[in-house]
């Protein structure tokens, strides 16, 4: 929700030619520590040739599979297919990392050219009738082969992926499927480019110091620094990046400026050259058409078949009771805010740009807790060290910074992760601050995934957009940013621990957030806080009374936080349970959806449709899947309860059992993996209790 990758030494990049005369680094062995990407040597012009070469090599590998005279079996068909994309993996992961964290107009142009090529390449493989016939034979004969659970899972996933890609369609339907996939690939890239431009182009310039009343000094300094960098010395510059907009909405007393900034955020991509509404409408229509081609009534039915929820009914069944509790709590919070606002601003109506500002005042009054007073105890480096320390106490692993690893930007830091006995586990790259070429949000990525039982070790990334250091003051995080760091670090641990053999494991979207969200539970526990939450000037640990106040206020604001998230999750599901492949009026559809669920006007959806990148941008990995954060929240709350029930947040036996869960990834059915850890299915009670929604 706070809201969505790893490996060690490769002597030779599999599938890559080793001809020293070639200048393209993707065609040579990387002689860097642990075989890491040599970023300084990689230029934009290297990507397309490397992608084309990788696709050609995979096609050749597929040709060898289908022309084999041997009878199809797991080794010569499924395992061989799994290995066939090895040459594409390094270039794909490096390009993906740069496209998200350090893009530029040239990379964006390459992405636009590449997207339809990749769509065609995937279709050429998934619609290859000879390959499909071999996969079917292996599937039908699976009982005759002595396959272990992971191999059986891989076979099942490969078989399903062919069916779900259209292998059983008629020739005419396959032709249409190719056209739909190509257009969707282009539209996803287009959406992302328009959103990035709309976000980065906006700026609010403040001329008068009195308009900054209420803002903390570090926020003023950051805005002054941003203005100076933009050639506006003597002024203050605010943007739609998280570290800029959210503190302003929380602390700035100037109500009209709060209104202007939030309105700019919510109205992105609504008009002009960055209008995404036509793109969204077309994507939604094409998804319905694709689902129907494959025999599903809606896009959500198609997507959810592979998730733990299984179908839209399963999702709505979870969302409705949580929505009811969250909305009820939000309405109680609204009355508290209105009461305070009436005293300070008689006659004024509570608006969305007032909520964070007055909520902060209510928190201070109810709990004597000033969030700004907390920030000196949450310097970025200390929070990161705190996350590392939690992992050390849970799993015995250690982290040491490496200065000899190539990075794609000077702000990126790299840490070697080792087992307790000193064995190399993998590398973690951290990249924590916003830049013009970095998309918003936070995510965990990969420069190389673990596989072959961890013989190939992972390179994983944590990319965020946290407040920058200002003057002699380090980057100071809010509690929410602190949880975000722990969250993405949880994804990284999942990548670092993965012990699977293959690339083609499962990916139930509503399970992948469990490893990340469970880490958030440790972040604000008093026992953990006293170790890492230290004043950046004095080094003193956070006072016990302050840690106690944090715990006492843990459910404060959950009505707002859960409601604005749930509104986006419900909006996503409503978009993807459309049954007709026709273009709709985007804003009218969104309004009807949110009105149907009864969203109160003072709380906007976390993402409005025109900038809902999770479900419409790029690969759109969360389409019909944004609900997965709350599904995983049920899992993580229940899983953390296993530690609490032992009376020890670092219980060795529970830690070992949870590490086994992480090591498996999705090499088995997620529900079975969870039951093996917990001894039963998850219960929703722990989540409702944690959020105060009972």
Identify which of 564, 569, 578, 560 has the alpha carbon closest to the alpha carbon of residue 631: 569
Of residues 102, 150, 488, 520, which has the active-site annotation? Answer: 488
**244-250 long-range Cβ contacts below 8 angstroms, 24+ apart:** 246/356, 246/478, 247/215, 247/216, 247/219, 247/467, 247/478, 248/215, 248/219, 249/353, 249/356, 249/357, 250/356, 250/357, 250/360, 250/371
Rounded CA-CA distance 72/441 in Å is 45
pTM, entire model: 0.90
3-state secondary structure (DSSP) of residue 430: strand
DSSP one-letter string for 187-251: HHHHHHHHHHHHHHH--EEE--GGGGTT--HHHHHHHHHHHHHTT-TTSEEE-SSHHHHHHHHHH
User: In this model, does residue 11 exceed pLDDT 70?
Assistant: no
Distances (CA, A) of 363 to 63, 327, 550, 558, 657: 64, 19, 11, 12, 38
DSSP one-letter string for 611-644: G-HHHHSTT-TTTTTTTHHHHHHHHHHHHHHHHH
Please give the pLDDT value at position 424. 98
Q: What CA dihedral angle connects 508, 511, 515 and 518, to 10 degrees?
A: 170
274-369+558-619: CATH topology is 1.10.1370
Identify which of 259, 270, 129, 121 has the alpha carbon closest to the alpha carbon of residue 182: 121
Give the Cβ contact number of residue 566 at 10 Å: 28
* CATH, domain 25-193, list 3.40.50.150, 1.10.1370.40, 3.90.420.10, 3.40.109.10: 1.10.1370.40
In DSSP terms, which residues pair with 463 in a beta bridge?
431, 443
Lowest average pLDDT, out of 372-376, 570-574, 619-623, 677-681, goes to: 619-623
DSSP 534: B
User: In this model, does residue 16 exceed pLDDT 50?
Assistant: no
User: In this model, does residue 12 exceed pLDDT 60?
Assistant: no
- Residues 102-125: tens digit of each pLDDT: 999 999 999 999 999 999 999 999
* Band of pLDDT at residue 507, cut at 50, 70 and 90: confident
Beta-strand pair 413-418/424-431? antiparallel
Please give the pLDDT value at position 398. 98
Lowest average pLDDT, out of 211-225, 408-422, 457-471, 501-515, goes to: 501-515
3-state secondary structure (DSSP) of residue 660: helix
| Mean model confidence pLDDT for the chain | 93
Domain boundaries, the chain: 25-193, 202-267, 274-369+558-619
How many residues does the structure list for the chain?
A: 694
Rounded CA-CA distance 471/130 in Å is 64
Contact 461, 365 (CB under 8 A): no
- The share of the chain scoring above pLDDT 70, in percent, equals 96
Please give the pLDDT value at position 14. 33
Identify which of 428, 640, 394 has the alpha carbon closest to the alpha carbon of residue 514: 640
- Residues 161-216: tens digit of each pLDDT: 999 999 999 999 999 999 999 999 999 999 999 999 999 999 999 999 999 999 99
Strands of the sheet containing 459-463, edge to edge, are 398-402, 413-418, 424-431, 459-463, 443-448
Rounded CA-CA distance 685/36 in Å is 44
- Residues 335-348: tens digit of each pLDDT: 999 999 999 999 99
Section 121-133 average pLDDT: 97
Tell me, yes or no, if 217 is annotated catalytic. no
Section 269-293 average pLDDT: 97
User: In this model, does residue 610 exceed pLDDT 70?
Assistant: yes
Section 496-515 average pLDDT: 88
Section 587-596 average pLDDT: 98
- Residues 141-152: tens digit of each pLDDT: 999 999 999 999
* Band of pLDDT at residue 620, cut at 50, 70 and 90: low
């Amino acid at each position: 929700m706070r809201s969505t990758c790893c490996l060690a030494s490769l002597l030779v990049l599999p599938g890559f030619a080793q001809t020293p005369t070639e200048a393209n680094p993707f065609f040579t062995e990387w002689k860097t520590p642990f075989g890491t990407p040599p970023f300084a040597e990689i230029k934009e012009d290297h990507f397309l040739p490397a992608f084309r070469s990788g696709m050609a090599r995979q096609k050749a590998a597929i040709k060898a599979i289908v022309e084999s005279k041997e009878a199809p079996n797991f080794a010569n068909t499924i395992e061989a297919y799994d290995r066939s994309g090895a040459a594409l993996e390094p270039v794909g992961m490096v390009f993906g990392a740069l496209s998200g964290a350090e893009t530029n107009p040239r990379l964006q142009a390459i992405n636009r050219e590449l997207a339809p090529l990749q769509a065609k390449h995937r279709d050429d493989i998934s619609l290859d009738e000879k390959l499909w016939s071999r996969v079917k034979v292996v599937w039908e004969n699976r009982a005759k082969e002595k396959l272990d659970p992971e191999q059986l899972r891989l076979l099942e996933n490969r078989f399903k992926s062919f069916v779900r890609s259209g292998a059983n369609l008629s020739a005419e339907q396959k032709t249409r499927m190719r056209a739909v996939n190509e257009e969707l690939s282009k539209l996803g890239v287009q959406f992302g480019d328009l959103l990035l431009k709309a976000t980065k182009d906006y700026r609010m310039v403040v001329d008068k110091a009195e308009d900054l009343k209420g803002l903390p000094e570090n926020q003023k300094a950051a805005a002054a620094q941003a203005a100076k960098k933009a050639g506006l010395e003597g002024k203050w510059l605010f943007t739609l990046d998280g570290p800029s907009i959210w503190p302003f909405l929380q602390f700035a007393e100037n109500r009209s400026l709060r209104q202007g900034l939030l309105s700019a955020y919510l109205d992105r991509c609504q008009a002009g050259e960055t209008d995404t509404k036509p793109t969204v409408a077309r994507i939604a229509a094409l998804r319905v058409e694709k689902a129907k081609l494959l025999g599903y009534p809606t896009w959500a039915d198609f997507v959810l078949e592979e998730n733990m929820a299984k179908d839209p009914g399963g999702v709505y069944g979870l969302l409705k009771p949580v929505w009811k509790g969250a909305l009820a709590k939000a309405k109680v919070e609204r009355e508290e805010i209105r009461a305070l606002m009436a005293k300070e601003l008689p006659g004024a109506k509570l608006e969305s740009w007032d909520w964070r500002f007055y909520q902060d005042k209510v928190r201070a009054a109810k709990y004597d807790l000033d969030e700004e007073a907390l920030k000196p105890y949450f310097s970025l480096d200390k929070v990161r060290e705190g996350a590392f320390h939690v992992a050390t106490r849970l799993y015995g692993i250690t982290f040491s910074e490496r200065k000899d690893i190539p990075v794609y930007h000077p702000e990126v830091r790299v840490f070697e992760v080792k087992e307790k006995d000193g064995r190399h586990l993998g590398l973690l790259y951290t990249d924590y601050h916003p830049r013009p070429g970095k998309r918003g949000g936070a995510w965990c990525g990969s420069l190389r995934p673990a596989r072959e039982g961890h013989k190939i070790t992972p390179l994983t990334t944590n990319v965020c957009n946290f407040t920058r250091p200002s003057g002699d003051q380090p980057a100071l995080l809010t509690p929410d940013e602190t949880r975000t760091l722990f969250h993405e670090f949880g994804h990284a641990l999942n990548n670092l621990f993965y012990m699977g053999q293959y690339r083609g494991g499962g990916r139930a979207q509503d399970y992948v957030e469990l490893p990340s969200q469970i880490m958030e539970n440790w972040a604000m526990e008093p026992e953990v806080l006293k170790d890492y939450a230290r004043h950046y000037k004095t080094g003193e640990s956070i006072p016990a009374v302050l840690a106690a106040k944090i715990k006492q206020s843990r459910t404060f604001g959950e009505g707002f936080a859960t409601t604005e998230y749930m509104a986006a999750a419900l909006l996503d599901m409503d978009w993807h349970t459309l049954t007709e492949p026709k273009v709709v009026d985007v804003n009218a559809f969104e309004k009807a959806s949110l009105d149907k669920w009864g969203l109160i006007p003072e709380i906007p959806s976390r993402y409005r449709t025109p900038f809902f990148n999770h479900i419409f941008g790029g690969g759109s990995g969360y389409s019909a899947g944004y609900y997965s954060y709350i599904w995983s929240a049920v899992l993580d709350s229940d899983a953390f309860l296993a530690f609490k029930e032992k009376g020890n947040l670092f219980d060795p036996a529970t830690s070992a059992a949870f590490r086994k869960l992480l090591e498996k990834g999705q090499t088995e059915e997620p529900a079975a993996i969870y039951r093996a850890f917990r001894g039963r299915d998850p219960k929703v009670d722990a989540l409702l209790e944690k959020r105060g929604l009972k």
